[in-house]
Amino acid sequence: MATGDRLVAPPLWPLEARLAALLPDLLVFRKPRGSEPELATAQGVLLGVHVTGFTALMDRFSLSCKSEHDMDKLAHIFSYYISDIVEHVLCFGGDILNITGNVLLALWTVEQNQLSDIITLVAKCSLEIQEKFGIYHTREGQDLQLKIGLSAGRISQVIVGDEQRQYLLVIGRDVDGVQLAQRLAQANEIVLSWNCWKLCEQYMFEVEIMREDEAVKLRDMRISDPFDFDEHFDKCLDYLPHYRTSADILRTALELDPDSALEQTLRKHIMKSLLKKIDEGQPMEYISEFRTVTTVLVSLELHKTEWMLHLCHLIQEAALYISTVIEKGGGQLSRIFMFDKVSTKEFDTSALKGCMFLCVFGLPGDKKPDECAHALESSFSIFSFCWENLAETK
């Protein structure tokens, strides 16, 4: 049976383990297929956890903090809170794809005929997360709360980039589904996408229909005799080849043998400012920090009717140009992620989705007095390039 007890890490992991700790198993155990963009499709269950109240907490700190120590305190509050949630997801066999801002996205990759069993597993995980961490009272008087969304089905995994830097994206209708479920959820609620609801063992779930053909709210699970959840949990472990083999460690990825080729592959997916800290042997707890930075958000609107491979090539072309321009200006392309474009018009039926490029100036080692000017110059260059070369996007 899964538990969320905190495990104590050794003083210093081997380099491969320290790199793998920052990346999902999807990348750690993948076999590179050659030139980018890489595209692979699998069945899986997605869990999205959105922490609400964190922006308000940051605002309180920014108004009251008088030293860097106060901001470090905020970093530790959020880091430890998220760490507890991460550990619980890992104990249930989930793979943490990313943590973008205050949103965590996890994936269980399985075969299609195993989806219903895994949905039950992830639903139980979600209920426990809400029970244990759904409300976190801070000394500053600002509560942190959770909104959870679940989705299931076919998921496309895309890797874009070049030999120096690469980025993982997950794309597909069911990725859109988990984002919609998160948006529909209120604080302390769990919402299932409609496809997830269709695929699950419905007799086991107590739900409320929120929107027909869109989402249902999970209220509880009917777990009682003769159903034994521990037995179900053990059954699901057979579907998860990378589940931990020891109670002393959370991920098998942390037990990797030294492998120079794997190390070079993993390094491509980690920002250079983090790599520098890892190479210097800094303890993992000091990698999290809050800094004043300048950000550039590039949002490309893409037509959903485009072929998936063509979309990938558009994102690849944009990523290569954006990363080059941003790095010349002293910044870094931090992350690429997909999102559904939400229309504000009631009868707008346009089939658009978005691809967001998050660029950051002012990270450790890159701080410059004129970073805002560099950000503005880079933005103008990126806008001109996309306007002239990516006709299918806005």
For residues 213 and 297, state if they share a domain. Answer: no
Q: Could you tell me if residue 56 is inside a domain?
A: yes
For residues 176 and 59, state if they share a domain. Answer: yes
Helix 371-389 / helix 308-328 crossing angle, nearest 10 deg: 150
Which range is least confidently modeled, 140-154, 251-265, 330-344?
Answer: 330-344
3: pLDDT strictly greater than 90:
no
For residues 186 and 233, state if they share a domain. Answer: yes
37: pLDDT strictly greater than 70:
yes
For residues 302 and 159, state if they share a domain. Answer: no
pLDDT for the residue numbered 110? 95
Q: Tokens representing 186?
A: 């209120």
pLDDT for the residue numbered 341? 53
Confidence of residue 307 (pLDDT cuts 50, 70, 90): confident
Q: Are 308 and 39 in contact (CB under 8 A)?
A: yes
Q: Could you tell me if residue 278 is inside a domain?
A: no
Task: Report which listed range, 42-51, 94-103, 135-144, 357-366, is most confident.
Answer: 42-51
pLDDT tens figures, 10-21:
445 678 888 898
Contacts of 38 (CB under 8 A, 6+ apart): 32, 157, 158, 159
347: pLDDT strictly greater than 70:
no
For residues 209 and 342, state if they share a domain. Answer: no
H/E segment holding residue 77:
helix 68-91
For residues 230 and 334, state if they share a domain. Answer: no
365: pLDDT strictly greater than 50:
yes
For residues 240 and 307, state if they share a domain. Answer: no
Answer with the residue of higher pLDDT: 340 or 130. 130
Backbone angles phi, psi at 94, to 5 degrees: -80, 155
Longest Cα pair distance anywhere in the chain, in angstroms? 66
Q: Domain containing 356: what range?
A: 291-391
CA quadruple 107, 321, 358, 271: dihedral, nearest 10: 70
Q: Could you tell me if residue 239 is inside a domain?
A: yes
For range 167-183, the mean pLDDT: 91
What CATH number should be reported for the domain holding residue 202?
A: 3.30.70.1230
Q: Could you tell me if residue 46 is inside a domain?
A: yes
For residues 45 and 184, state if they share a domain. Answer: yes
> Is 43 in a helix, a strand, or coil?
strand
> Is 367 in a helix, a strand, or coil?
coil
Confidence of residue 344 (pLDDT cuts 50, 70, 90): very low
For residues 210 and 303, state if they share a domain. Answer: no
Q: What percent of the chain has pLDDT over 70?
A: 88
Answer with the residue of higher pLDDT: 295 or 35. 295
Chain-centroid distance of CA 134 in Å reads 19
Answer with the residue of higher pLDDT: 47 or 172. 47
Q: Could you tell me if residue 275 is inside a domain?
A: no
What's the predicted TM-score (pTM) here?
Answer: 0.87
Answer with the residue of higher pLDDT: 72 or 160. 160
Contacts of 163 (CB under 8 A, 6+ apart): 268
Q: Could you tell me if residue 60 is inside a domain?
A: yes
Distance (Å, whole) CA 208 – CA 216: 6
pLDDT for the residue numbered 34? 67
Q: Could you tell me if residue 169 is inside a domain?
A: yes
Answer with the residue of higher pLDDT: 359 or 1. 359
For range 271-282, the mean pLDDT: 86
Across 304-351, where does the E strand assignment appear?
Answer: 331-340
**What is the pLDDT of the chain when averaged over all its residues?**
85
Q: In the chain, what is the straight-line distance between the N-terminal and C-terminal CA atoms, in Å? A: 49
**What total of structural domains would you count in the chain?**
2
